[in-house]
Amino acid sequence: MSSINVALLGFGTVGRGVYEIIEQEQKRLTEILGCSVNIVAILVDDETIERNVPSHILVTSSAHDVLTQPVDVVIEAIVGVEPAYTYLSQAIEKGCHIITANKEMFAHKGHELKQQAKERQVSVEYEATVAGGVPVINTLRQLVTVNRVVQIEAILNGTTNYILSEITNKQASFAEALQSAQQLGYAEADPTNDLKGYDALYKAIILAELLTGTKVYGNHVFREGIKSVIKADVIHQQLKGSRVKHIATLNFGQGQIDIRVEPKWITSEHPLYHVEGVDNAIVMTGDYVGRLKLEGPGAGQYPTASVMVEDLVKIFSRERKLVNN
C-alpha cells in the first residue's frame, strides 16, 4: 500500500480534530504504518463555508462524490442516525473500513453495520462513540478474551455529571448549573438528549452489544434523566454522606442483560463517587480480573479525534501485520 486514503464525513468539532491530528502527526503515522495517510475528501452539510484546507482535498456536500473517490477508510463524525447510516453502509459495500464517533447512529444501527462489515471483510471501529477519549471499547475487547464481564457501572454523560457536580459542590440550582454548562460549551443549545438520559443510554447499548454480540432491544432497558433531581434532596443527602450521580448500570446474567440509566445516590465507598465535572468513568467487573476503572475526558475535540486516529492506526497495523506474516 503506497498511501492510506481517508474520506472524512463531517468537519465540525470532531471531524476537524481528526483532520488536524492526521496533518500534525503525518511523520509518526508514516513511520508506524509504512505509508502516508492522505485525506482525499471531506463531506460537509454547507459547502459554502470556507474550511481552510488545501485545494487538492475535495470538500463537498455530495456524499456520492466523496464515496466515489479512491478511499480505503471512511471516518464519520456527523450527527444523527440518517444519513450517516446510509453513507457508512454504502462505504462498507464499496469495501472501505469505517470509523465512527456517532453514538446515536451506532446505538440504532451498529449491529447491522458490524454484520455487513463482517460479510464484506472490512473493519468497523467505534471507540469514540462511548466516553470520548477514554479507551473503554478496546479495553473491553481485550478483557473478554479471557474474562466474562458480569457488570458495568458508568458515568457516560459529561453534561449531566457537570450539572450534578455544580448542584452538589456549589449548591447551584438546576437552571444555574445548566446555564453554566451551556456557557462553557459542555451542553448543547438543545440539551434534551443529555438531560433525559438518551445520550448515556445510546452508549450503554453500544457497550451491551459489544459484550453480547446481539442487538439490544428496548425491553431490556430502563431510562430516567436528571430532571427529577431536586436541589433540597442533594443538600440533605450530602449531610448524610450521599451524592447523586447519573449512572448507567449493565448487569449480564445467564444469557440475559439488564440496562438501567438513572440518577443514583451513592456513598464515598462507591468508585464513581469522586468523578467530578465533565469527566466520564467506567467501572468494569470481570470474573477473573475483578474490578477495573477507567476515567477521563468523555468528550472534546482532541480526546475524541485522537481515539479515532488510533482506530485508523489499529486497522492498518492489523492489515500490515497480515501482509508481513
Ligand X SMILES: NC(=O)c1ccc[n+]([C@@H]2O[C@H](COP(=O)([O-])OP(=O)(O)OC[C@H]3O[C@@H](n4cnc5c(N)ncnc54)[C@H](OP(=O)(O)O)[C@@H]3O)[C@@H](O)[C@H]2O)c1
Q: Which residues bind ligand X (CB under 6 A)?
A: 10-15, 43-46, 49, 77-79, 83, 101-103, 128, 132, 299-300, 304
- 273 φ, ψ (degrees, to nearest 5): -60, -40
Instruction: Tell me which DSSP letter residue 132 carries.
Output: T
In this structure, the number of other CB atoms found within 10 A of the CB of residue 94 comes to 12
- Shortest gap between Cβ of 184 and ligand X (angstroms)? 13
User: Peptide bond before 83: cis, by omega within 30 degrees of 0?
Assistant: yes
**Least spacing, CB of residue 25 vs ligand X, in Å:** 19
Nearer to ligand X, 39 or 128 (CB): 128
Grid cell in block for residue 112: 447491522
Smallest separation, CB 193 to ligand X (Å)? 9
| CB-nearer residue toward ligand X: 15 or 263 | 15
Which one, of 207, 209, 198, 197, lies nearest residue 284 by Cα? 207
> Smallest distance, Å, CB 306 to ligand X?
11
Render the burial of 216-251: b for 16+ CB within 10 Å, e for the rest.
beeeebebbbbeebeeeebeebbeeebbbbbbbbbe
For ligand X, the closer of residues 33 and 77 by Cβ is: 77
Residue 203: active-site member = yes
In angstroms, give the least distance from the CB of 179 to ligand X.
Answer: 20
Which residues does 306 contact at the CB level (< 8 Å), separation at least 6? 17, 21, 133
Q: Toward ligand X, which CB reaches closer, 34 or 135?
A: 135
Which residue lies nearest ligand X, judged by its C-beta? 12
C-beta closer to ligand X: residue 244 or 248: 248
Non-local (6+) Cβ contacts of 294 within 8 A are 131, 134, 135, 136, 139, 281, 282, 284
Q: Which of 118, 203, 245, 293 is catalytic?
A: 203
Active site residues: 203
